[in-house]
Chain A
Amino acid sequence: MKSEELRGSISIDGMTKDDAIVYLMRCYGEEIKRLVYTFVKNWQQAEDITQDVYIALYTKLDTFRGESALKSWIYTIAINKSKDFLKSWSYRKLAFTDKFTANSTGSVDSAEYGVISKSEDELLYQAVLSLPIKYREVILLHYYKEFSIREICGLLKISESTVKTRLSRARTKLQGSYIHLGGERNGKKT
């Protein structure tokens, strides 16, 4: 990721709200939807939440102050919306139902079974997505979205030491989960 992109050097000054939102969708739509999916693990929900993110952006465009990075601003909204969904009753009910009805065919959770034929990359992907959300988000933001620790502090509104601690624990958990799923022949090579 280019550094100027990280700083949010993209400008929407002088654009109408409608033009700005189209522009922001073209710049960030793809990566925001992918990020949201890594949080909620469901494409339908990812689509709905991405839509919510852009509607929220549209309503708040007037209040956007140019000094804060546009990208950080969009990411903050996307992360908060995803977390709101994960905390919501409908999500818990969905998770609760899946436990009973086992109808989550093809989901990451159910993919734990039958790992033998899966590639190392696929196992790593599953291991990341199976992490508890507070560890998953720091791994995703740091390694997948390549934000610095300081930037993650701003996005998640937590202190630098907390980010570092979570990252460290997240790495340990990820390694354990990856090996558990059968990664690198159950860790013999790692």
Chain B
Amino acid sequence: MEKKLKDLRQTLDQQISTNPVFTKKDEENILLSIRNSSFNKKAGKKKNIFLPKLLTAALFAGVVFTSYTLIDTYLEPQTMPDIKKENKKPKVHYAQKLTQASSTLSFEVSKRELTISGTVVNTTNYNSEPVQAKVNILDEDVAKALGAESLIIETPTNQILKPDESYTFKKVVTVDLGIIDENTFKDAVEVEIYSKENILTSFVINDITYLSKEEKEVESQEENTSIEEKNVESTDTPDNTIINEEVLEEPIEELAEESAIVEKPEEIKEQKKTPFDKVNVSYQGGKYYFNGVTTEMTLEETVKVLGLYDQKYISEIEYDAQSTYSWKTKINDSPPYEFLSINYMNQDRAFTLSFHLKKKERDALIQQLGKPYHIHERSESVYFYSESSNQLLDISRGIADSKDLYSVDLRIKDDPSYLKDFK
């Protein structure tokens, strides 16, 4: 082997390419990029000596004007009615909107029990007013069977949601319908979360599961698995986690540590809420959210909102313990596009969130998000940027062009101005 290593230079050069790989075209491309890049433009702008003078004059005028205003205010008679002060009464802000994180309907066929459950999150920066919840029955037959068009969901008195806090609801009702098929509950159940004055969110639940008696038993057995058993298995893979072993090259220790994190008893309590019908992108308080989760959230916080993940992927890069957790969506039909994936650096906080959209959905999302920060037409990339949170939302054509898919990535970027350099 040592002899082979001594000849490695020749071997690799032969294997990489027998022809030169850095061509005249590379040289021209680099020079072109240098000419087109912003630092050259900035250098050109230096010649404009009029601009600094204008700015100085504007600054001077500003100082004079401010001084005049201050002196004028100081000399104002104190007997003048204090209208301004009256207007400065502190305003109390409340969260005007909650975000749906998950929602499911499950119908236990043998008992004819319909369970309506889900979670909403306060993704704003304000506390909410006390919230209440109800279920609206949109289908006449189901409403007749229930004997009501609306059902109140019991909420704790004075249920206020702080920023990033979630509220999980659950309502079990018996539905005595003659024939029940897969369309019975489709577009039939709407959940409304409201305060005294506003509807904070409402959504129709179409994620429906039909449970036979056996399935229910299996579920309850899984729930009853003791915490001790899980602690004993703490270095094994969680039952509901798929680890792509092929990807694991050797960071076994890292894996054990990461597994330990997700196997904490309080997290095991979280059930799977996937697949999500849709990944909702919202913008609240200067931050973008995907189904109520955002960058900088810990895995624990994310699991509370999204439920347990479906897949876990360990990166081959060994500089940092990087890992990707994925939650199934129904948006697209083939892996890996059917996941909302969140990447964690050093088992700490989410630094990239990603999912895929079809063209029509991508267009609708761009429309929803308003004016982009930058559009790169050649690559069909559209960027949105929040200066307050430094979040860059990047909607670009997916890797596999033939799929006609677009990736939606959310990540932290301190200065995205370089994106504008490339024409």
Q: State A96–B411 Cα separation when bound (angstroms).
A: 18
Task: Tell me if B343 counts as interface (CB < 8 A to partner A).
Answer: yes
* B317 contact set on A, CB distance < 8 A: 86-87, 92, 133
Please, which residue of chain A has its CB at the minimum distance from the CB of B403? A101
Q: Please report whether the interface of chain A is mostly helix, strand, loop or mixed according to DSSP.
A: helix
Task: Tell me if B409 counts as interface (CB < 8 A to partner A).
Answer: yes
Q: A172 → chain B, closest Cβ, in Å?
A: 9
The answer on a CB contact under 8 Å between B354 and A93 is yes
Contact of A50 among B22, B37, B320 (CB under 8 A): B22
Q: Please report whether the interface of chain B is mostly helix, strand, loop or mixed according to DSSP.
A: mixed
Task: Tell me if B318 counts as interface (CB < 8 A to partner A).
Answer: yes
Task: Tell me if A113 counts as interface (CB < 8 A to partner B).
Answer: no
Q: B42 → chain A, closest Cβ, in Å?
A: 11
Q: A20 → chain B, closest Cβ, in Å?
A: 12
Task: Tell me if B324 counts as interface (CB < 8 A to partner A).
Answer: yes
The answer on a CB contact under 8 Å between A178 and B1 is yes
The answer on a CB contact under 8 Å between A30 and B21 is yes
* A15 contact set on B, CB distance < 8 A: none
Task: Tell me if B333 counts as interface (CB < 8 A to partner A).
Answer: no
Task: Tell me if A160 counts as interface (CB < 8 A to partner B).
Answer: no
Task: Tell me if A99 counts as interface (CB < 8 A to partner B).
Answer: yes
Task: Tell me if B71 counts as interface (CB < 8 A to partner A).
Answer: no
Task: Tell me if A181 counts as interface (CB < 8 A to partner B).
Answer: no
* A125 contact set on B, CB distance < 8 A: 11-12, 15-16
Which one, B25-33, B103-111, B193-201, B216-224, is touching chain A? B25-33
Task: Tell me if B70 counts as interface (CB < 8 A to partner A).
Answer: no
Q: For window 19-59 of chain A, which residues contact chain B by CB distance below 8 Å? A: 21-22, 25-26, 29-30, 32-34, 37-38, 43, 46-47, 50-51, 54-55, 58-59
Q: For window 378-423 of chain B, which residues contact chain A by CB distance below 8 Å? A: 399-400, 407, 409, 411
* B315 contact set on A, CB distance < 8 A: 92, 95
Q: State A86–B319 Cα separation when bound (angstroms).
A: 10
The answer on a CB contact under 8 Å between A47 and B313 is no
Q: State A30–B26 Cα separation when bound (angstroms).
A: 10
Task: Tell me if B150 counts as interface (CB < 8 A to partner A).
Answer: no
Contact of B21 among A25, A34, A100, A132 (CB under 8 A): A34
Q: State A175–B343 Cα separation when bound (angstroms).
A: 33
Tell me whether A134 and B318 are in contact in the complex, defined as CB-CB below 8 angstroms, given that A29-B27, A146-B9 are known contacts: yes
The answer on a CB contact under 8 Å between A101 and B29 is no
* B1 contact set on A, CB distance < 8 A: 171, 174-175, 178, 190
Q: State A29–B23 Cα separation when bound (angstroms).
A: 9
* A22 contact set on B, CB distance < 8 A: 27, 31
Tell me whether A121 and B33 are in contact in the complex, defined as CB-CB below 8 angstroms, given that A33-B21, A94-B399, A133-B319 are known contacts: no
Residue picked from A47, A171, A178, most chain B C-beta under 10 Å: A47
* B9 contact set on A, CB distance < 8 A: 143-146
The answer on a CB contact under 8 Å between B324 and A38 is no
The answer on a CB contact under 8 Å between A124 and B4 is yes
Residue picked from A30, A32, A46, A122, most chain B C-beta under 10 Å: A30
The answer on a CB contact under 8 Å between B11 and A103 is no
* B22 contact set on A, CB distance < 8 A: 25, 29-30, 32-33, 50
Interface residues on A, range: 35 or more
Contact of B27 among A25, A55, A93 (CB under 8 A): A25
The answer on a CB contact under 8 Å between B409 and A89 is yes
* B313 contact set on A, CB distance < 8 A: 96
The answer on a CB contact under 8 Å between B34 and A58 is yes
The answer on a CB contact under 8 Å between B33 and A89 is no
* A55 contact set on B, CB distance < 8 A: 30, 33-34, 37
* B318 contact set on A, CB distance < 8 A: 132-134
Task: Tell me if B20 counts as interface (CB < 8 A to partner A).
Answer: yes
The answer on a CB contact under 8 Å between A51 and B8 is no
Task: Tell me if A11 counts as interface (CB < 8 A to partner B).
Answer: no
The chain B residues found within 8 Å of chain A, CB to CB, are: 1-2, 4-6, 8-9, 11-17, 20-22, 26-27, 29-31, 33-34, 37, 39, 244, 246-247, 249-250, 313, 315-320, 322, 324, 335-336, 341, 343, 352, 354, 399-400, 407, 409, 411
The chain A residues found within 8 Å of chain B, CB to CB, are: 18, 21-22, 25-26, 29-30, 32-34, 37-38, 43, 46-47, 50-51, 54-55, 58-59, 83, 86-87, 89, 92-97, 99-101, 103, 121-122, 124-125, 128, 132-134, 139-140, 143-146, 171, 174-175, 178, 190
Q: List 7 A-B contacts (CB under 8 A).
A: A21-B34, A51-B30, A89-B343, A95-B315, A95-B316, A132-B249, A171-B1
